[in-house]
Amino acid sequence: EATLGTAVEINGGTGNQIAGCTIRSIVGNPAVTISGSNNGIRSGDLYQLAGTGVSIRGGDRETLTPAGNYADNCHIHHAGRIHRTYNGAFKIHGVGNRISHCYIHDLPHQAIGYGGNDHIVEYCEFTRIAEETGDVGVLYTAMDWTSMGHEVRYNYFHDIHGPGRLGCRIIYPDLPCGGIHLHGNIFYDINIGFFTNSGRAMRIENNLFLDQQQAVAFNVWTDRQKFLPDGDWRMVERIREVNYDQPPFSDRYPALRRLAEDFALGPDQWIERAYPKDNVVRGNVSDGKLFARLNPKATLEHV
């Protein structure tokens, strides 16, 4: 407690574990960092943190080799006390890392910011997130078509309402991320359960949406420059960095082959890159104001 720096750092190695610790009143951002492989934090209580609680990264994106780093059975709350946006309970990057059995609450902005591939968020409870911020996700990612392969399963999201007109979108793969398998979750007393701007290859199935304003929403982002080289989010440059149209990405994530076909149409057909293609919504239960909202440009050909 009461350090100006990071409390604990695991930098490389394998099989290391932070177990049963209380970590509090940390000014360093993040409070805990974990990299390497098969390293993790288990059964920790983290609170009153200036920035992010735990930053987890590892794995090889070039080969899509998983790291197996994890956070399990942790209680994290009142993070982001000084760095109030984009600093929640967790940041998770790389390939093949996991957050499980955690209780996360009382945060001003997001709970989990992520990027990379093949991460798992499971058996967690989230409440009172986005207490100060609208247009925010409990789980949020952006800027990379190749961020795919994620599984969000068996979590409980409840009593979450961001302020303002846009509120909180619980699962928020922003422009143009996709590749989420969202299943077996319960959403109760929320603004929007799932929202994407132009995201692809989602499977949303067997979830309960209860007392929600919207369950799922698919939007088409219509800023042409975002989908061309030199856009301010560098979306085109990011997919070229990992050779998205070649193995292993094109084999592991078939939706990227269709994206390559859309790019082959040329810049005049940039709108084909913006459509939220290859999404499936099935087997869910909705008991709220609205089940599904599609932008007029997003049709049942895409969702």
155-177: pLDDT as tens digits: 999 999 999 999 999 999 999 99
pLDDT at residue 67, as a whole number: 98
- Whether the CB-CB separation of 209 and 287 falls below 8 Å is answered with yes
For residue 226, what is the enclosing H or E element? none
Q: What is the pLDDT along the chain (303 residues), one digit of tens a residue?
A: 999 999 999 999 999 999 999 999 999 999 999 999 999 999 999 999 999 999 999 999 999 999 999 999 999 999 999 999 999 999 999 999 999 999 999 999 999 999 999 999 999 999 999 999 999 999 999 999 999 999 999 999 999 999 999 999 999 999 999 999 999 999 999 999 999 999 999 999 999 999 999 999 999 999 999 999 999 999 999 999 999 999 999 999 999 999 999 999 999 999 999 999 999 999 999 999 999 999 999 999 999
Is-contact 68 38, C-beta < 8 A?
yes
Asked whether 152 and 118 are in contact (CB, 8 A), the reply is no
Predicted local distance difference test score (pLDDT) of residue 31: 98
Q: What is the pLDDT of residue 276?
A: 97
Neighbours of 300 (CB within 10 A): 6
C-alpha distances in Å from residue 96, one per residue of 63, 118, 147, 149, 253? 12, 5, 12, 9, 15
Could you tell me which of 226, 228, 179 has the C-alpha nearest to residue 64? 179
pLDDT of residue 243: 93
Cβ-Cβ contacts under 8 Å for 132 (sequence gap 6 or more): 84, 108, 109, 163
d(CA 196, CA 184): 19
Q: Torsion-angle region of residue 220: left (phi > 0), alpha (psi -120 to 50) or beta?
A: beta
Q: What is the Cα gyration radius of the chain?
A: 19
DSSP type of residue 273: H
Assess contact for 130 and 136: CB atoms under 8 A.
Answer: yes
> Cα 137 vs. chain centroid, distance in angstroms?
8
Q: Which of 184, 173, 112, 113 is nearest to 148 (CA)?
A: 173
Model pLDDT, residue 234: 96
pLDDT in tens, 181-222: 999 999 999 999 999 999 999 999 999 999 999 999 999 999
What local confidence, expressed as pLDDT, does residue 130 receive?
A: 98
Q: Is the dihedral of CA 111, 174, 257, 180 positive or negative?
A: positive
